[in-house]
Each structure stands twice: as structure tokens, then as C-alpha cells.
């Protein structure tokens, strides 16, 4: 029986090109920007169904703040991934980072502003 020479693969031998990793993070950041299409519907469903904010004219500040934080989460993840992709050398990742950061601030600010207006 002939001897079989098998090379063992060590863990960690798979190397990821940093440019590829930055590209993956940038694309994921752009995907998080799509949350802007779903966020208004999700916000209305949460506001009326869970927090009962539509029944009365006054919005309690703590409920509006929690609603804003829930709506902000996907944008915060997208901003993190955009900054991470930009640090890895992908230039277009800054677009996703800044866009997600602005939309995160808007997602928190709108419900809180509505509660302070009433």
C-alpha cells in the first residue's frame, strides 16, 4: 500500500484581503440604508400598536425616546459598518457611514420632537 502524504490545513490559514473586507462592510452599510423604506411603516405600527401613542394627542417622552431608539438601531449598525469599511480603505464606505448617521439622528429626533411639541 503506497504512503499518502496529506497536508493538514491549520486554522487561520485563510487570509482575507483587507480591501475585500472593506468592500463587504461598505456594501452592508448601503444595505442598512434600505431601512429608510421600512422605518415609517414600522414606526407607525409600533407607535399605535405597542406604545398606544395614536390614541391621545400627547406623546409621553419616554415612549417616544424608546420608539426613536428602536428605529435608530439599523442605522447605527450601518454607520458602524460604514466607518469600519472606511478604516479598511474603502472610500465609498463614507457615503454609507454619513447617510446612516444622519438617518439615525433623524429617527431619534422625530419622535422626541413630536413628544415635546405636544
**Higher per-residue confidence, 58 vs 109:** 109
Q: Mind listing the pLDDT tens digit for each residue in 35-87?
A: 999 988 998 888 888 888 776 667 788 888 999 999 999 999 999 999 999 99
Of 91 and 102, the one with more pLDDT: 102
Residue 18: per-residue pLDDT: 62
* pLDDT value at 108 more than 80: yes
- Residue 88: name the closest of 27, 33, 34, 31 by CA: 27
Burial class (CB in 10 A: 0-12, 13-18, 19+), 2: exposed
Quickly state the pLDDT bin for 8 (edges 50, 70, 90): low
Binning pLDDT at 50, 70 and 90, where does residue 1 land?
low
Domain edges within the chain: 20-117
Amino acid at each position: 500500500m503506497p504512503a499518502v502524504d496529506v497536508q493538514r490545513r491549520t486554522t487561520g490559514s485563510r487570509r482575507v484581503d483587507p480591501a475585500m473586507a472593506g468592500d463587504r462592510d461598505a456594501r452592508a452599510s448601503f444595505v442598512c440604508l434600505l431601512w429608510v423604506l421600512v422605518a415609517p411603516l414600522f414606526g407607525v405600527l409600533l407607535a399605535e400598536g405597542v406604545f398606544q401613542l395614536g390614541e391621545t394627542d400627547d406623546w409621553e417622552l419616554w415612549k417616544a425616546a424608546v420608539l426613536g431608539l428602536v428605529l435608530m438601531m439599523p442605522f447605527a449598525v450601518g454607520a458602524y459598518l460604514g466607518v469600519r469599511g472606511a478604516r479598511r480603505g474603502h472610500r465609498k464606505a463614507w457615503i454609507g457611514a454619513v447617510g446612516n448617521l444622519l438617518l439615525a439622528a433623524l429617527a431619534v429626533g422625530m419622535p422626541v420632537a413630536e413628544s415635546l411639541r405636544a
